[in-house]
Amino acid sequence: MQVVYTPAHLAHDITTETFMGLSIPANEVAERAEKIRDALTADGGFAFVEPTDHGEAPITAVHEPGLVRFLEVAWSEVRRQGIARPFLSADTYPNTAMFEGMSEDAIAALVREPVHAGGRAGFWGLDSAAPLVAGTYLAARGAVDVALTAADLVVAGAPAAYGLCRPPGHHAARSMYGGYCFFNNAAIAAEAIVRSTHEHVAILDVDYHHGNGSQQIFWRRGDVRYVSIHADPDSDYPYFLGRADETGEGDGAGENLNIPLSAGTTDEEYLGAVDQALDAIAETSGSVIVVSLGFDTYGLDPIGTFALTTGVYHEIGRRTAALGRRLVILQEGGYHRPSLGENARAWLRGAEGRSFEPRPAGGFGESGAVAG
C-alpha cells in the first residue's frame, strides 16, 4: 500500500492544550505521526510517497473562504497585534444568546468578524482545544494535500491508499475549526472524489469521537453518506452532536448514521457496530470509501474510554476492505503514542489482506502495543 506523508506537519509544533480551562500537555503532537511513519517504514510493506500541491480550490469547495483566510493570517496577526502568547486560542466564543432578540437581518448587518486575533479565533473556532501556532496553516495545508494525493491514487485505480494526515480534520466544519482540526481532510477528499468520479461516496468514521465537521458539511447531501462509530456525546466531546437520531435533512435525509457507544466498549461490541456501519455503506452505490481512521478507541488511549486491542484493528481493516470497495484511509486521532505505530500497521495490513504478525515488544521504537 502507498502511504502519503509529508514532514510539513512538524511545523504544527504544539506542546500544551487547554482542557476545561486547565493547561495540560498536548495530546495532538508531532510525535504521533512520526511513530506511525516509523512503524510503517520498519514493516517494509509500505511505499512512501510525497503529496502533490492541490492548491486552494479543493479546500474552498468544502470550507468557507473566510476560514481559510483567517487560518492563513492568524499567526501574523497575533504578532502584528503584539499578543504575547505561545499559541493562539480564543478568549470569547459567540454564544448565540449574545444576540438574542436581534433579527437575522440585524445579526447579518451588525455582527462582524472581530479584528482582535483572539476574537477572530472565537469567531471561527469551536473550542480551546486547537491551539494555533506559527506553522499551523502550512501543516494543515500539507495534511489536505496528503488526503487529496491519497484520493488521487485511489481514483486512479489503487485498491487502497493511506494518508498520514496531521493535523487531523473531522471536527472542522464548513466555517469552523476546532478539536485539534483545522481543515477537514476527509471531507475535502470525499468532495474531490464526488466531483471527479460523479459517484456516491461513503465516509466511514472510526475515530473515537464523533466527526461533527464531516456530518455538518454533508448534512444535506444525497451523494455522500457519513457513517460514524464513536463515544456517546453525553459523555464525550463534541457533546452537542453525534446522537443516533441525527440522520440528515433534505437530499441528505437518511444519509447520516451515528452509532454512539458507551465507555468500556469491547472488541466484540465494536465489531458489531462496524458490521452495522458497513451494512449501511453496502446499501449505497459508489466504489470508494473514505475512512476517517482514529486510534483513540484503543484501550490505553489517554482521552478515550473504549477497550479495543491492537488485534481488533486488523480485523476492522479486513472487514472494511471485504466490502470490495477501494479505500482512501486518512489518519484522524489516536493519542497513546507508544501503540500508534502497531495499531496503524495492524489496520492497514488487515485492509490489504495481509496477516498482522505483531512485532515483539521493543521490536522497534518504544512500542508497547503488543503487550498492551
Cβ nearer to Zn ion, comparing 155 with 273: 273
Number of residues this chain uses to bind Zn ion (CB under 5 A) = 6
CA 258 to CA 279: how far, in whole Å? 13
**Burial track 214-240 (b if 16+ CB lie within 10 A, e otherwise):** bbbbbbebebbbbbbbbbbbeebbbee
At which residue does the C-alpha cell 516509523 appear?
A: 38
Cβ nearer to Zn ion, comparing 208 with 356: 208
Annotated catalytic residue 171: yes
Cβ nearer to Zn ion, comparing 78 with 308: 308
Beta carbon of residue 292, minimum distance to Zn ion (angstroms, whole number): 9
Q: Exactly one of 294, 299, 341, 365 binds Zn ion (CB under 5 A); which one?
A: 294
Beta carbon of residue 52, minimum distance to Zn ion (angstroms, whole number): 27
Beta carbon of residue 202, minimum distance to Zn ion (angstroms, whole number): 19
Interface residues for Zn ion in 160-179 (CB under 5 A)?
none
Cβ nearer to Zn ion, comparing 78 with 346: 346
Stretch of 60-68, 109-117, 287-295, 336-344 contacting Zn ion, by CB under 5 A? 287-295
As a whole number of Å, the CA-based R_g of the chain is 20
Interface residues for Zn ion in 194-213 (CB under 5 A)?
207-209
Cβ nearer to Zn ion, comparing 207 with 342: 207
Beta carbon of residue 358, minimum distance to Zn ion (angstroms, whole number): 24
Stretch of 59-67, 126-134, 151-159, 289-297 contacting Zn ion, by CB under 5 A? 289-297
Beta carbon of residue 129, minimum distance to Zn ion (angstroms, whole number): 11
Burial of 82 (0-12, 13-18, 19+ CB in 10 A): exposed
Among all residues, whose Cβ is closest to Zn ion?
333
CA 60 to CA 294: how far, in whole Å? 25
Catalytic member of 9, 63, 170, 171: 171
* C-alpha distance across the termini of the chain, in Å: 26
DSSP code string of 19-77: ETTEEEE-SS-HHHHHHHHHHHHHHS--EEEPPPP--SHHHHTTS-HHHHHHHHHHHHH
Interior CA angle at 363 toward 360 and 367, to 5°? 90
* Length of the chain as a residue count: 372
**Burial track 8-44 (b if 16+ CB lie within 10 A, e otherwise):** bbbbbebeebbeeeeeeebbbbbebbbbbbbbbeebe
Q: Should residue 236 be labelled a site residue for Zn ion when binding is judged by CB under 5 A?
A: no
> Which of 316, 344, 300 minimizes the C-alpha distance to 33?
344
Alpha-helix residue ranges (DSSP H) falling in the chain: 30-43, 57-60, 65-80, 104-110, 117-124, 136-155, 185-197, 212-218, 267-282, 310-321, 337-352
Beta carbon of residue 259, minimum distance to Zn ion (angstroms, whole number): 15
Three-state DSSP state, 201: strand
Question: Binding string, 296-335, against Zn ion, x = CB under 5 A?
Answer: x------------------------------------x--
Q: Are strands 201-205 and 160-163 parallel, antiparallel or unpaired?
A: unpaired
Beta carbon of residue 333, minimum distance to Zn ion (angstroms, whole number): 3
Cβ nearer to Zn ion, comparing 125 with 333: 333
Three-state DSSP state, 205: strand
* Half-sphere exposure (Cβ direction) of 101: Cα atoms closer than 13 Å: 1
Cβ nearer to Zn ion, comparing 296 with 315: 296
Which positions are catalytic? 171
Question: Can you give the binding site for Zn ion, defined by CB under 5 A?
Answer: 207-209, 294, 296, 333
